[in-house]
Amino acid sequence: MIDVNLNALLRQYRSNPYEELHIETPHTGIITFNVKVGDLVKGPSGAWKERPGTTLFTLEREGNVKKITAERDGEVSFVRDEVDGEFCEAREHVVTIRHRLSKDEIINFILRKVLYVFEAPETARYYLVPELEAVRDQKKEITLSPGDDFLIMSLMKRDTFLKYEGPKGTVFRLYFKPGDIVEQGEPLVGIASPEDLDIVDKIIQRIQSEWED
């Protein structure tokens, strides 16, 4: 059964409803900033997220000028101005966005404490097994029982099937983007068992009504 001090959690988020997003250069190239500190930026929009977010900076590599856009809304709190117009290496931290947590994100964070969370056993790339990926594509619910093959762990060029070990339940949240490297111990999926579903719904409802964006 779920046991969580919701009030304390909500208090904690109320006192600091922000998240700092560190934006790194995805690859090498000459950087040109399009934002300055204090600018408000927008994440992707549209019903299908088809309209990209605000351009943060451009990277020019091999004659290709690529726009790097904001993934979420927020305020620019840091820009590494001294590299403007210079060659940057890959994965350099160049911009920070102070992002105000939305209601959905608060729900996500709190659910992470509430749900049965399956953590990454190794630092590796993870994928859903194709059958579940297909279910997810159809926007249907994924139900898991102990012993089900549910994830593919790609490690050292080898793919290993991971068996689900935990209570039977419904996948409530996926915490990773298929194909990305997930550090060991980071959450992969959040699962709610059938008997907990009610409580989870109640928690969501409470945050929905109490949290103001």
Partner 1 sequence: MAKQKILIANRGEIAIRIMEACEELGIETVVVYTKEDEASEHVQRVLREPSKSKRAYCISSYKDPNEIFSVCDEAGCTAIHPGYGFFSENFRFARRAALRSRPVTFIGPRWEVIRDLGSKINTKRVAKSLNIPVIPGSSTPIYNEMEAEALAEELFFIQKEQGIKHPSILVKASAGGGGMGIEEVRELDAFRQTYRRIQNYARRQFGDEGVLIEQCLTDYHHLEVQILASRHDEYVHFGTRNCTIQSTGRQKRIEVAPGFDPKMVNYPFKATKVLNDIVEHSLKLARHVKYDSVGTWEWIVTRQGHPYLLEVNTRIQVENGISARISRVRGLGQPNLIKEQIRCALGDELGYSQEDISFEGTSIELRIVAEDTKRGFAPWCGTITELRFPQYEWATVHTHVPTDRPYKIPTEYDPNLALAIIWGPTSQDAIDRAKEFIDNTVINGYGPRGESIITNLPYLRERLNACLRFE
Partner 2 sequence: MQDTSHVLTQLLERAQYLGDIKNDPTWRGLDEVVERIKELKDSFYDIPEKQLIREIERIEDRVHFLEDRVAENITPMERVNIVRSTHRFTLMDILENVYDSYTELGGEGECNLDPAVVVARAVISRFVKNKIYSHQVMVIGHEKGKGEEFRNGGSAKPWGNDKALRYMKVAETEGIPIHFYVFTPGAFPIEDYPGAAQQIARNLYAMTKLKVPMVSFISEGGSGGAEAIGLSDFRLMASHGYYSVISPEGAAAIEGKIKEGEKVPKELIEHCAKELKITAEDNLRLGTIDRIVQEPPLGARRNDFAFFRRLRYEMIRATDEVVLKTKSFRAFRAYALRRKKEEGKDVPDEFDVVVNWNLNGLEKERLLEARSKKYRRMGLRFLKEGRPILPVIKKAKEALSRGYYEIRYGLLKHHKKSVKQLIDDVSSEGAAMLKTFTDPVLSVYEFMFLEPKKRRRVVKQDHSPLHSVFTQDWEQYTSPLSNEDRTVTCPNAQKYGCVDLWVPDLYGEFAGVCPTCGHHFPLEYQWYINNLFDKGSVKEFNQHLASSNPLGFKGFDTRLKRDARRTKRNSAMITFDAEIMGLKVVVAMLIGSFRNGTVGTVEGEKFVRACDRAQTTKRPFLCYVHTTGGIRIHEGTLGVIQMPKCTMAVREYIDSGGLYIVVYDNNSYAGPVASFLGCSPYQFAIRSSRIGFAGPRVIRETSGTDVPPDYHSARNALKRGHIQGIWDRRMFRKNLLEALLRMGGPKLYYR
Residues that bind partner 1 (CB under 8 A): 26-29, 61-62, 64, 87, 89-92, 121-124, 155-158, 181, 184
Candidates 10, 191, 41, 38; CA nearest to 109 is 10
* CA dist., res. 36 & res. 22, Å (int): 15
Our CB check for partner 1 shows the closer of 26 and 85 to be: 26
Which of the listed partners (partner 1, partner 2, none) does 123 bind, with a CB threshold of 5 to 8 Å by partner kind? partner 1
Our CB check for partner 2 shows the closer of 38 and 179 to be: 179
Our CB check for partner 1 shows the closer of 71 and 122 to be: 122
Our CB check for partner 1 shows the closer of 20 and 24 to be: 24
Give the pair of three-digit tokens for residue 135.
């279910």
Min dist. Cβ of residue 118 to partner 2 (A)? 24
Q: Where are the beta strands (DSSP E) in the chain?
A: 18-24, 29-33, 40-41, 55-61, 64-69, 74-79, 87-88, 93-100, 116-119, 124-128, 143-144, 149-155, 158-163, 169-174, 181-182, 187-192
Q: Please give the backbone phi and psi of residue 137, each rounded to the nearest 5 degrees, phi first.
A: -60, -35
Min dist. Cβ of residue 185 to partner 1 (A)? 9
Which of the listed partners (partner 2, partner 1, none) does 50 bind, with a CB threshold of 5 to 8 Å by partner kind? partner 2
Which of the listed partners (partner 1, partner 2, none) does 137 bind, with a CB threshold of 5 to 8 Å by partner kind? none
Give the pair of three-digit tokens for residue 49.
């997220």
Which of the listed partners (partner 1, partner 2, none) does 16 bind, with a CB threshold of 5 to 8 Å by partner kind? none
Residues engaged in binding partner 2 (CB under 8 A):
46-48, 50, 61-64, 66, 179
Min dist. Cβ of residue 79 to partner 2 (A)? 24
Token match 């931290």: residue? Answer: 93
* CA dist., res. 61 & res. 143, Å (int): 44
